[in-house]
Amino acid sequence: MADYPGRGHIYKAVKWGMIEGDLTVLEKFQLCKELGYDGMELDSPIDVTSKEIRAASTTTQMPVHGLVDAKHWKLRLSSPDEKVRDAGREVLEQAILDCNAFGGSSVLLVPGEVVGSEENHDHVWQRSIAEIRKVLPVAGRHGIQVLIENVWNGFCETPDQLRDYLDEIDSPLVGSYFDIGNAQKFAPSQDWIRALGSRIMKLDVKGWGLGMPSRGFCKIGDGTIDWLEVRKALAEIGYTGWCTAEVSGGDRERLADIAARVDNVLGL
């Protein structure tokens, strides 16, 4: 994969929950630094103080590029229950504040789930947009983006739908956290990239393929994703920014293998 290198344009991160072992905050940062990762993505809420994170980040020169709203599946912004939506919005606001405290630039959000007649596609669309708009003043004050991940939630399962959803929100603070592996189930990942274009702000990286175990998910580089075409599409839209591995984690050996696989498929 010598063509379309991502080096100098794409920066590799790992999700906090993938780092296994009895390690301190600083040791986790140091380990990932040694393995060639450029940054970290944390969760909100998290049982680590911003002081600890900032100190480890400064010592290792490993930035926290963003956070994941870890409660977005349970406290859905698309829920038919107004109290649940309110709680979900409050969690999202706190994630924005946490992201600012940790030095990040974005919060990853799943906006809801299509589960039945009381939470159908239109409900997820309308309810989530209403709640996201309510947090934009907080996000704007702190310079934090709310980025929508494409997942298997029955919502926006085509690139055109996701494009139109983001365009309806119509805010520079809201964009796509594009998951390359999740998209492949519905259409070639490169087609999604070309359709979403500059709306893509960050990338999640995993492998996926028809006939693979674990619902099709597999090691990065295995499966049916055409990574060369993905890289071509990223080059065409002028993508530069973070990519974060989102696979099962493990010890040093496992994390090293993940880093090498990301480097290989994206030319890092």
| pLDDT above 50 for 29 | yes
Query: For 172-216, how does the pLDDT look when each residue is reduced to its tens digit (9 = 90+)?
Result: 999 999 999 999 999 999 999 999 999 999 999 999 998 888 899
Cα→Cα distances 208→26, 158, 183, 184, Å: 32, 17, 9, 7
| pLDDT above 90 for 218 | yes
Spatial contact of 223 and 262, defined as CB atoms under 8 Å apart: no
| pLDDT above 50 for 1 | no
The whole-number pLDDT of residue 14 equals 97
Query: For 72-128, how does the pLDDT look when each residue is reduced to its tens digit (9 = 90+)?
Result: 999 999 999 999 999 999 999 999 999 999 999 999 999 999 999 999 999 999 999
Does residue 19 sit within a domain?
Answer: yes
How many domains is the chain built from? Answer: 1
| pLDDT above 80 for 4 | no
The whole-number pLDDT of residue 3 equals 62
Average pLDDT, whole number, for the chain? 96
Does residue 60 sit within a domain?
Answer: yes
In degrees rounded to 5, what are phi and psi of residue 179? Answer: -95, 110
Does residue 1 sit within a domain?
Answer: no
Query: For 143-172, how does the pLDDT look when each residue is reduced to its tens digit (9 = 90+)?
Result: 999 999 999 999 999 999 999 999 999 999
- Taking residue 230's Cβ as centre, other Cβ atoms within 10 Å add up to 24
Does residue 217 sit within a domain?
Answer: yes
Does residue 3 sit within a domain?
Answer: no
Does residue 149 sit within a domain?
Answer: yes
The whole-number pLDDT of residue 7 equals 85
Question: What CATH number is associated with residue 85?
Answer: 3.20.20.150
- Taking residue 238's Cβ as centre, other Cβ atoms within 10 Å add up to 9
Q: Which domain holds residue 173?
A: 10-266
What average pLDDT does this structure show over 132-148?
Answer: 98
Does residue 4 sit within a domain?
Answer: no
DSSP the chain: --SS--TTTEEEEEEGGGB-SS--HHHHHHHHHHTT--EEEEEES-SS-HHHHHHHHHHHT--EEEEEETTTTTS-TT-S-HHHHHHHHHHHHHHHHHHHHHT--EEEE------BTTB-HHHHHHHHHHHHHHHHHHHHHHT-EEEEEP-SSSS--SHHHHHHHHHHH--TTEEEEEEHHHHHTTS-HHHHHHHHGGGEEEEEE-EE-TT-TGGGEESBTBBS--HHHHHHHHHHTT--EEEEE-S--BSHHHHHHHHHHHHHHHT-
| pLDDT above 70 for 136 | yes
